[in-house]
Amino acid sequence: MVHARWSGCGRSRIPFRSTSVAGTHAPPGNTMKHHYTLPLLLACVAGTANAQLSVLPQSYWASAVNNEGLVAGYLAGAPTYMLWNPDFSTTEDIEGVSPAGGAGGQAKFAADGQRLSGGAMGATASEMAYFDRNNGEWIALGGLGGVSDGNASSAWGISGDGTTVVGLAWMSAGGAHAVAYNGSEGLMDLGSLFPEASTRANAVNADGTVVVGWQDQNGPWKAAVWRKDPSGGYLPNTPILIDPTGSGTDENNLAGECSAISADGSVIGGYGDFANNDEPWIWSEADGFVSLGALPNMGTGYVSAISADGSVVVGWFNGPFFGAPRKAFIWSAGGGLQDLNTYASNTLGIPLGNTVLYTASDISPDGRYITGTGVNSSTLAMLAYRLKLPGTTVVQAQHEALPIPLWPNPTQDLVRIRVPQPSTLSIVASDGRVLHHGPAQGDTTLDLSPFADGVYTVVVRTETAQHTMRVVKH
């Protein structure tokens, strides 16, 4: 394990590379912490009930936000990580090695916002690491012996208590395993279910007992969940099944890559793929696998983060074809899936102007802040944003209804759906024809056998919300 101080002439094992917003470099040996004030660059737009959108018109890849509203990420082309404080219009270079500097992984905050994961230089290559804001120190955490493109390992997440960092370490130039690090057990190889197949850990719950990521399944990356072994280390990963009664080896019944987890580990989120018609999804022990729906005329959906209590989910959808614009989304059980742009402008009353929110890369543990990237539709310049939500009203609204599981999906004929309260249910064809409409509550079986193969939309309406899901019949 390599210790590297953020500042201190003659002590640093990481070369000093401080990059300002203007792109200038501080001279080697400078021991001052570097804050850059951006009074002319930062735009703040207020909405109703204390909602606010802050915009940094730079190509800044925001990947994390804490309960203070502090954002972590890096500038495009800058080799180090940078913190952005919209409330004080400042940025701070915290060193480390960013993806633009050649490291893999991403910055993520622990729950108290004082420690974050990222990358730092080890003895011979960049390694997964964590940064302590209290002492300004990066701690590189080692690897498993392999190196690929100058990386021994990369960090993708950190536990809420800040004690466990998860990610990937290279076994060789062509293969890698998921890893987890804590102070008492060191760096642990989480292994793979298949010889020569890679794995990666993307996120971890608050106390480090549940780690989620992906397992290479003969090509596609599928959900992988590692749980702490009471005797030490972690148990082999298990998949998430779309239909809990179905096959555990059929790729069409295996959920896509896991990307996020709630603080207690009870709610897991992930990426859509061919198995669920490319919709973002969540899973819980109580409700099973739930596809979150789709935004009109968009492509694959990706969950990026879940609030600590599991009630609010954020992410984005790719455009319908390569190179098409993305769209950020927000989801809750009460409000369903919503375009974050529409939610910000219509619900929060924030005039977006030329700002388009492309991705939502993180939500703070308390559900108060969302951060991500966007674009100025007039100049096509990239930007970063932080959206401040109005108190806890968004989180509270999520408890008005429960998630609606639908399985199996795809199906050949029958689909089961669990509707937790009195609702109306419609089945809509791709051309807009309503094929079925009627009341629904509790466990309901839908028979799609009279319909042709294709994609159908199931719409469930309650008194306070609408839930839209796509189902594939083949």
CATH assignment at residue 261? 2.130.10.10
Q: Are residues 278 and 254 in the same domain?
A: yes
Radius of gyration of the chain (CA): 22
Does residue 200 come out as left (phi exceeding 0), alpha (psi in the -120 to 50 range) or beta?
beta
Domain end point (choices 400, 417, 447): 400
23 occurs within a structural domain? no
Looking at the fold, whether 264 and 385 belong to one and the same domain comes out as yes
Mean pLDDT of the chain: 87
Phi, psi for residue 178 in degrees, rounded to 5: -65, 145
| Cβ count within 10 A of residue 465 | 18
Q: Among 52-61, 194-203, 375-384, 449-458, where is mean pLDDT lowest?
A: 449-458
In the structure encoding, which two tokens stand for residue 43, read together? 């735009």
Helix or strand holding residue 259 (H, E): strand 258-261
> CA 124, 125, 129 angle in degrees (round to 5)?
120
Report the alpha-carbon distance of residue 393 to residue 346 in Å, rounded: 15
pLDDT tens readout for residues 138-175: 999 999 999 999 999 999 999 999 999 999 999 987 89
- Using alpha carbons, select from 21, 73, 50, 35 the residue that is nearest to residue 385: 73
Task: Give the CATH number for residue 455.
Answer: 2.60.40.3080
Shared domain for 168 and 243, answered yes or no, is: yes
Same domain, 452 and 344: no
Do 244 and 350 lie in one domain? The reply is yes
Give residue 276's pLDDT band: very low, low, confident or very high (50, 70, 90).
Answer: very high
Last residue of a domain, one of 400, 434, 449: 400
The pTM score is 0.78
| 473 within 8 A of 448, measured Cβ to Cβ | yes
The pLDDT of residue 23: 33
> How many structural domains are present in the chain?
2
Q: How confident is the model at residue 465 (pLDDT cuts 50, 70, 90)?
A: low
User: 3-state class of 100 per DSSP?
Assistant: helix
| One domain, residues 371 and 413 | no
Strands (E), 285-322: 288-291, 301-306, 312-317
Same-domain status, 337 and 364: yes
User: What three-state secondary structure class fits 27?
Assistant: coil
**Contacts by residues 313-319 (CB-CB < 8 Å, ≥ 24 positions apart):** 313/260, 313/269, 313/280, 313/282, 313/363, 314/340, 314/360, 314/361, 314/362, 314/363, 314/370, 314/372, 315/259, 315/269, 315/280, 315/359, 315/360, 316/358, 316/359, 316/360, 316/372, 317/280
Average pLDDT over residues 300-322: 96
Are 285 and 155 contained in the same domain?
A: yes
The pLDDT tens digits for 93-141 are 999 999 999 999 999 999 999 999 999 999 999 999 999 999 999 999 9
Residues 6+ apart with CB under 8 A from 382: 58, 59, 76, 373, 374, 375
Question: Residue 220: exposed, middle, or buried by beta-carbon count in 10 A (0-12, 13-18, 19+)?
Answer: middle
User: Which pLDDT does position 400 carry in this prediction?
Assistant: 40
Q: Give the structural domain span for 442.
A: 406-473
Which alpha helices (H) appear in 248-365, and where do they start and end?
340-342
Residue 261 within a domain: yes
Amino acid identity at 211: V
Q: Report the helix count and the strand count for the chain, using DSSP H and E.
A: 2, 36
* CA gap 356, 365 in Å, rounded: 24
In a domain, residue 12? The reply is no
Token digits for 465? 């919300």
Judgement on whether residues 335 and 391 belong to the same structural domain of the protein: yes
Query: With 0-12 CB in 10 A as exposed, 13-18 as middle and 19+ as buried, what is 400?
Result: middle
Give the model's confidence band at 285: pLDDT under 50 very low, under 70 low, under 90 confident, else very high: confident
Q: Could you report the per-residue pLDDT of 353-409, keeping only the tens digit for each?
A: 999 999 999 999 999 999 999 999 999 999 999 999 986 444 333 334 446 788 898
Are 395 and 410 part of one and the same domain?
no
Residue 458, in any domain of the structure: yes
Find tokens 């953020």 and name the residue.
6
Same domain, 328 and 462: no
* Dihedral sign, Cα of residue 247, residue 248, residue 250, residue 254: positive
Residue 207's Cβ-count burial label (10 Å; 0-12, 13-18, 19+) is middle
Listed range (27-31, 72-76, 284-288) with the worst mean pLDDT: 27-31
Percent of the chain with pLDDT over 70: 86
pLDDT above 70 for 47: no
Could you tell me if 348 and 452 lie in one domain? no
Boundary residue ending a domain (400, 430, 445): 400
